[in-house]
Amino acid sequence: MDNYRFILSGGGTGGHIYPAVAIANELKRRHPDAEFLFVGAKDKMEMEKVPQAGYEIKGLWISGLQRKLTLKNLMFPFKVISSLLGARKIVKQFKPHVAIGTGGFASGPLLRVAAGAGVPCVLQEQNSFAGITNKLLAGKAERICVAYDGMEKFFPKDKIVKTGNPIRMDLVDLKSDKKEAIAFFGLDANKKTLLVLGGSLGARRINQLVEKELGFFEEQGLQVVWQCGKLYHEEYKKYDSDNVKVLPFVNRMDLAYTVADVIISRAGAGSVSELCLVGKPVIFIPSPNVAEDHQTKNASALVAENAAIMMKESELDGSFENGFAQLMESEEMQKNLGQNIKKLAMPKATEHIVDEIEKLLK
């Protein structure tokens, strides 16, 4: 039987969307006649990104609880009821063989309803610290695919499989041509390139740092590809020049990674997994505003292997220039960091996750 139906949900940020799309792509490769349906939160970025990847998506009216008492919180119970009813209708019509959740608000109601209807469920947790949706769903899942050791403190041990995080396939073997990459971004072939990544929405503190240090980067002889995020593009596009490329979003990450000599990045799970494959020297600046400070935990795991440098937001003003100059002056340090981070890559993660999904089809 090849006409399986797979329902997938994950969203809110690129970190939940890309893994879901990568899993769908691998399932489609193995089962070309299968049907796919994504379920997202109505006003979130998955409603745009999933159709761009070639899949149908339906939206639920759902969002998270705000930390303080707001009108949105008063609406929350209604959103939960609405999204459960919406999910029930979707599951009833689509009749999936397996439901797959990669985190984010919409995956909560969808997988809850699917499990209640007897559909086997697979969760994929990207971070070293589990997200709230996945923790709530753990009891209902058949399998929980994780990327870090020690996850039994969040999930039942017998359900956990360590697979790594799904990665966009165009990154698995970076065959992109450096010449093509330089031409794509309009860069100078004789200069070293710093790539700055703040995640799909951008990172305010990283943007402030780059703005402040543009002169310093020029002194270092660097050109900059600066992905500032769409929320900040208006504010920073004035710095776009021959030497500094300011972008809301990078559509060709393979070319961005190819052209980079050194990378500054947030430490979201997806970014960390991708950067392991890329094998370039990385400075992680973890976001302190995420649940349980999981980005610091993600980055610390790499620092412990001498595979990356971590700088905390609170210490940037005092120590950034020194630490950065040290890295740029030492070819040896750059080489070691690049080699060590590459050793931690799990390039077959998507295939291993899909192997687990296929076991449930039997």
Walk across the sheet containing 282-284 and list its strands: 244-247, 222-227, 192-197, 262-265, 282-284, 309-310
Asked if 311 and 352 sit in the same domain, the reply is no
Confidence band, pLDDT 50/70/90 cuts, at residue 63: confident
Q: What is the pLDDT of residue 257?
A: 94
Q: What is the pLDDT of residue 186?
A: 96
Cα(257)–Cα(265) distance, integer angstroms: 12
Task: Report the number of distinct structural domains present in the chain.
Answer: 2
Contact indicator for 180, 255 with CB cutoff of 8 Å: yes
Asked if 110 and 148 sit in the same domain, the reply is yes
pLDDT at 12 over 70: yes
Asked if 293 and 356 sit in the same domain, the reply is no
Asked if 200 and 59 sit in the same domain, the reply is no
Asked if 218 and 142 sit in the same domain, the reply is no
pLDDT at 67 over 60: no
Token pair of 336 as six digits: 């070691």
pTM of this prediction? 0.82
The mean predicted confidence, pLDDT, of the chain is 91
Contacts of 314 (CB under 8 A, 6+ apart): 288
pLDDT tens digits, residue range 212-252? 999 999 999 999 999 999 899 999 999 999 999 999 999 89
pLDDT at 114 over 80: yes
Cα(53)–Cα(19) distance, integer angstroms: 12
Using alpha carbons, list the distances in angstroms from residue 24 to 97, 155, 202, 252.
Answer: 14, 24, 26, 20
Confidence band, pLDDT 50/70/90 cuts, at residue 6: very high
Between 333 and 131, residue with greater pLDDT? 333
pLDDT at 169 over 70: no
| Paired sense of beta strands 222-227 and 244-247, if any | parallel
Q: What is the pLDDT of residue 149?
A: 84
Q: What is the pLDDT of residue 83?
A: 85
Contacts of 27 (CB under 8 A, 6+ apart): 4, 6, 34, 36, 354, 357
CATH number of 73's domain = 3.40.50.2000
What residues form the annotated binding site for UDP-N-acetyl-alpha-D-glucosamine? 13-15, 127, 168, 200, 295
For range 271-291, the mean pLDDT: 92
Asked if 355 and 306 sit in the same domain, the reply is no
What residues form the annotated binding site? 13-15, 127, 168, 200, 295
Asked if 352 and 322 sit in the same domain, the reply is no
Asked if 267 and 227 sit in the same domain, the reply is yes
Residue 158 — φ and ψ, nearest 5°? -70, -10
Asked if 176 and 240 sit in the same domain, the reply is yes
Between 285 and 168, residue with greater pLDDT? 285
Contact indicator for 103, 142 with CB cutoff of 8 Å: no
Label each residue of the chain as H, E or C.
Answer: CCCCEEEEECCCCHHHHHHHHHHHHHHHHHCCCCEEEEEEECCCCHHHHHHHCCCCEEEECCCCCCCCCCHHHHHHHHHHHHHHHHHHHHHHHHCCCEEEECCCCCHHHHHHHHHHCCCCEEEEECCCCCCHHHHHHHHHCCEEEECCCCHHHCCCHHHEEECCCCCCHHHCCCCCCHHHHHHHHCCCCCCEEEEEECCCCCCHHHHHHHHHHHHHHHHCCEEEEEECCCCCHHHHHHHCCCCEEEECCCCCHHHHHHHCCEEEECCCHHHHHHHHHHCCCEEECCCCCCHHHHHHHHHHHHHCCCCCEECCHHHHHHHHHHHHHHHHHCHHHHHHHHHHHHHCCCCCHHHHHHHHHHHHHC
- pLDDT > 90 in the chain, percent: 72
For range 37-52, the mean pLDDT: 91
Contact indicator for 262, 328 with CB cutoff of 8 Å: yes
Residue 357's Cα: distance from chain center in Å? 21
Asked if 247 and 111 sit in the same domain, the reply is no
Q: What is the pLDDT of residue 1?
A: 62
CA torsion 211-215-219-225 (nearest 10°) is: 40
For range 293-320, the mean pLDDT: 92
Q: What is the pLDDT of residue 62?
A: 78
Q: What is the pLDDT of residue 94?
A: 97
User: Where in the sequence is the domain holding 306, given as residue range(s)?
Assistant: 171-343
Asked if 137 and 215 sit in the same domain, the reply is no
Token pair of 64 as six digits: 């998270």
Confidence band, pLDDT 50/70/90 cuts, at residue 139: very high
When mean pLDDT is compared across 14-18, 46-50, 313-317, the lowest value belongs to 14-18
pLDDT at 147 over 70: yes
Q: What is the pLDDT of residue 266?
A: 94
Asked if 96 and 210 sit in the same domain, the reply is no
pLDDT at 14 over 80: no
Contact indicator for 6, 100 with CB cutoff of 8 Å: yes
For range 107-128, the mean pLDDT: 95
